[in-house]
Structure 1
């Protein structure tokens, strides 16, 4: 991280329990060094044990990653950064509209059969990432499942999580894979309008579809993060945490840039 990034990031970090008088052992390494180590691993796709000597020992970085994963601290940190970016863009911190979609990726050999499957539509043996983003392309929720999990079934669970966390969300755009009973289910259960954006039958070749390109841009960023080009995580919770860390890397760079003043 640059000094400008750290100046923005430091106040947004979750406060360790031992600093709040709740017990626990003080951490031996600076948060900045640990964050840099995890960001390096996610961005470059290395193994934990291949952590360069410039960073803290790999087992300390992994212990930090695991603790933040298990206690939801990585999501808390991510959500604080997202709120800061929305404020910079002149938006309310809570979104009212979003976009949902999924991405199937190949799974590494370490991924067990209990959390992997075959996506017959994409012909991919691995896992599927289900995401909801706001209209700025910032992540609102993510769920990783086996690749053979249906989009509609996963959307019921994911949209429940997202609407519980974002009470002002009223509209979500989706592609044709989310049609059927899910539209009525969202309206009656979550008071959420699920708007289907379909591709016209007479369109040929690549066409940018309204709203759906927003979530595709997020998927493109994930595939440029080497740790996420395929799923290397044994647990789906670790796969979800890696997605949050990838977007934290993107948002810290974005929030540290000088904001252009209106003319």
Structure 2
């Protein structure tokens, strides 16, 4: 299906709408429609570019799915694609391919060898159930906590969402295990003092063969200070919060919030890569 603006019947009016260069990057990474597979299936009614525009609109503006503007497909259709592609790992695939391309364009190898980890507590809306929310006593925030790992460029490697009551060092066991499974070459991870826990550091070194290096503040530091390596992951957290859907957690399921964080980085990376491409006429 032709997905240029004129054929889709919808003008490009929102800041979150895909540019033609962004769509050219993302479209080849999407799964083949069911109607085009050997087993067959019902043809898709809506242009996929319009579907992604709608998902990006929700991520960028933080509105309810039911509050999508009328020039987008029905919210059940849009949310159906969002959920199905989350379950199929499509968002992760698109994200990882774009990340690899940015790393290569920056003169690095696609697979990283070092990472930085950190966490961020965010307030939860009334849609978040009691079973998956908690209280972060240090930040005085009730809601959820997203634990992330990034490379030295600040590009997302992994996101894991828990209740805000989960300690950083406890979630780090799962985070580092997943990091080892997904990125086999990583050997060094920088972290803040919240991860300074003997069992975590020793276990990572002996079992996962990952060195966890804690970057500490010195006693003579007062106020805000840019710390080596740690500022990279803190900048990534600020990038994620540029999307209003990620400023607060509205998702009933933690994996939906993980998908929204991934989509926020897809939006950022696709725009970066599109700027380096010849402009569509």
Cα pair 1:48 1:58 within 8 Å, conserved: yes
Counterparts of 2:120 and 2:36, CA distance in 1? 40
Equivalent position of 1:104 in the other structure: 121
Q: 2:161 aligns with which of 140, 144, 147?
A: 144
Q: Distance in 1 between matches of 2:146 and 2:260?
A: 12
Whether 1:38 aligns to 2:55 is yes
SS class of match (2:259): helix
Between the aligned partners of 2:127 and 2:142, the Cα distance in structure 1 is 13
- Quote how far apart the aligned CAs of 1:9 are: 2.0
Q: Which runs of structure 2 are paired with 1:39-188 in the superposition (5 Å)?
A: 39-180=56-197, 181-188=199-206
**With structure 2 as the length reference, what TM-score do the two structures score?**
0.89
Q: Could you tell which deviates more after superposition, 222-231 or 194-203? A: 222-231
Deviations 1:188-231 (A, max 9, x none): 11100111000111111111000001110111112221111110
SS of residue paired to 2:150: strand
Tell me the number of residue pairs that the alignment of Structure 1 and Structure 2 aligns: 259
Matched, 1:191 2:209: yes
Partner SS for 1:221? helix
Task: State whether structure 2 residue 254 is matched by structure 1 residue 228.
Answer: no
Alignment of 1:188-227 (within 5 A): 188-227=206-245
Secondary structure in structure 2 of the residue aligned to 1:109: coil
* Pairing partner for 2:270 from 248, 252, 258: 252
- What CA deviation, in whole Å up to 9, does each residue of 1:58-99 have, x standing for no partner? 111000001011222111111111111111111111100110
Q: Which runs of 5+ in 1 are unaligned?
A: none
- What is the CA distance between 1:19 and its match in structure 2? 3.2
Instruction: Give the match's secondary structure for 2:100.
Output: helix
- Decide which moves more: 97-106 or 6-15: 6-15
Name stretches of at least 5 consecutive residues in structure 2 with no aligned partner. 1-17
CA displacement, residues 27-46 of structure 1 (integer Å, 9 cap, x when unaligned): 22221111111001100111
Q: RMSD in angstroms over aligned alpha carbons?
A: 1.3
CA contact under 8 A between 1:12 and 1:81: conserved in structure 2?
no
Q: 1:15 to 1:136 in 2, by over 3 A?
A: farther
Task: Name the CA distance, whole Å, in 2 between partners of 1:76 and 1:15.
Answer: 14
